[in-house]
Structure 1
Amino acid sequence: MPVHKDESGNRYVQAEAEVPGTPEEVWEAIATGPGITSWFVPSQVDGRVGGEVVCNFGPGMDSLSKITEWDPPRRFVADSRDGLGPDDPTVATEWIVEARDGGRCVVRVVHRWFMDGDAWDAQYEGHTHGWVSFFRVLRLYLAGFRGQSGAPVQVMGVAPEPRDAAWEAWTRPLGLYGAAVGQRVQTPADAPRLAGTVEWAGQPAWPEELLIRLDAPAPGIAHLVPHAMGGQVYLTMRLYLYGDDAPAAAAEAGTAWQAWLHEHFAPVAVPA
């Protein structure tokens, strides 16, 4: 998504998606801690002007922002810095919910920052591509598990580049390589249990991505995607499990999948 510039000189990028649900139901999913945790990453939200939003992307990787505008169930804005260096800009992230006919809404996220140059353009363009991916998870959550609190699992391994080779090395032993939308998939007996139907299987610009609606180890969603960075490929698996047994299933799955990834790929170093 291209970087734009508004009349005030702010640079901005945005992404949006149409999702099922009323504005109140969609707001619950994008503006509360339990809601965000159920389709994105473990999060906490103090829903008020001056309140904090904390999103945890892994050990030692918390993203902190402060709410500057709060207008449920339509819009909120939170300011943050990414902590990527002394000159990284303060970014205002705006979330907007717009009602549509037929019990649907459009969700839009806009990142705005002020800089004279384009030093951070690529970074925030990457953010919007990430949102497009997570919005697919949000859409599936609202379609099949709306209002349910999810028990999340986040695990990661590291493989050498290139990305496509790392993807094959990761997914082929799991019986997932080359899976197509609508296909029923199931991991083999020597891997942690995962079974369901493929809902998304990448696109021409990024074919290495899977979104699976799960029925095992519990009803839920699995999202698998590799990211090339710093000469390595980070293999990220996120599970969102629902139902009464979800917390226990998530704890067991997290331990099993992290052990499997560490056996087959390099463990991820935890920041000090």
Structure 2
Amino acid sequence: MSDERRYEIEVPLEATPDQVWDAISTPEGMTAWFAPMDPAPDENGISADGVVTRWEPGHGYVVQAGSSSYEYLIEARDGGSAVLRFTQTGFQSDDWEAEYEATSRGWGLYFHTLAQYLSNFAGQPATYIVAEGPAWSNTQEAWQKLQRVVGTSIVRDKVQLEVYGLEPVVGLLDYFGPSHIGVRTDQALLRFHGRNLLGMSVALGHHYYGNQDAKRLEDAWQSWLTELYL
């Protein structure tokens, strides 16, 4: 396999190695920055994501899922902080360059979200919902329309969105990339995904910290995206 088919990132985190391990190895931790999933292996070394070929609590793990491998390694740093090193190999689709580009952009947002979670909401339980725009929001033009509604590309600028059924959503832009936008409020991390490289619609991932009605959140954001693309 060529080096071109390998994605690596090093993520400095203001958290202890134990906090990072909890975030990447437990269902509660994964829900708080990524999505609801349990990466821990069963007695046969199998997880919901594939075959776990390495599992070292507090240090890292490796999962083999089909032709792809995912490696998480934690390194302690001075002052009680840590670095997470992540590697993905195995981009095998016919259009693997587009797959690699889309995946790289996505991981950049997700690991930024991990850092935001550990810096601002560490240990808090999260309610996670996903909402998707209509099929015709799978274009660059549709993504640009969402960017205009957010209203800024400057990190730490104020963002306010009116979402029917919710209180006004007021926060700070914490991430702005070619395919992803992040907004942090006092209680949530909102992540908008432009997935046109994969031929998919615009989507929102919402991590809400504290008790919340997931169905109400999902319905409100689903309606918001639908109305945006009428």
Counterpart of 2:190 in structure 1 is 222
- 2:88 aligned counterpart, secondary structure: strand
Q: Deviations over 1:138-182 (max 9, x none)?
A: 00000001112211111111445641x31232344x4x1225222
Deviation at 1:236, TM superposition (A): 1.4
> What is the rounded CA distance, in whole Å, between the counterparts of 2:62 and 2:32 in structure 1?
21
Find the structure with the greater CA-based Rg. 1
1:184 to 158, 162, 169: 158
* CA distance in 2 between partners of 1:160 and 1:133 (Å): 20
1:4 maps to 3
Q: In structure 2, give the amino acid aligned to 1:65.
A: G
Equivalents in 1 of 2:169, 2:197: separation in Å?
27
**What is the DSSP-based 3-state SS (H/G/I as helix, E as strand, rest coil) of the residue aligned with 1:18?**
strand
2:205 paired residue number: 238
Q: Is the 8 A contact 1:51 1:66 kept in 2?
A: yes
8 Å contact kept, 1:166–1:233: no
Equivalence for 1:21: 15
What's the Cα RMSD here?
2.8
**In structure 1, C-alpha distance between the alignment counterparts of 2:200 and 2:98, rounded to whole Å:** 19
AA aligned opposite 2:189: I
CA 1:190–1:48 in 2, change beyond 3 Å: closer, same or farther?
closer
* Structure 2 counterpart SS, 1:45: coil
Equivalent of 2:80, from 91, 103, 108?
103
Cα gap change, 1:161 to 1:153, in 2 (>3 Å): closer
SS in structure 2 of the partner of residue 178 of structure 1: coil
Identify the residue that residue 255 of structure 1 maps to in structure 2: 219
Question: Which SS does the other structure have where 1:43 is aligned?
Answer: coil
Give 1:27's aligned amino acid. Answer: W
Q: Residues 160 and 252 from structure 1, CA distance in 2 versus in 1: closer, same or farther, beyond 3 angstroms?
A: closer
Q: Contact 1:179–1:185 at 8 Å: present in 2 too?
A: no
Amino acid at match of 2:193: V
2:174 aligned to which of 194, 199, 221: 199
Matched residue SS, 1:256: helix
Which is richer in helix? 2
* Counterpart check, 1:151 vs 2:127: yes
Q: Which of these residues, 47, 62, 81, is aligned with residue 77 of structure 1?
A: 62
* Contact kept in structure 2, 1:111 and 1:124, CA below 8 Å: no
> How many residues are aligned here?
227
Higher normalized strand content (fraction of residues): 1
Identity of aligned residues (%): 28
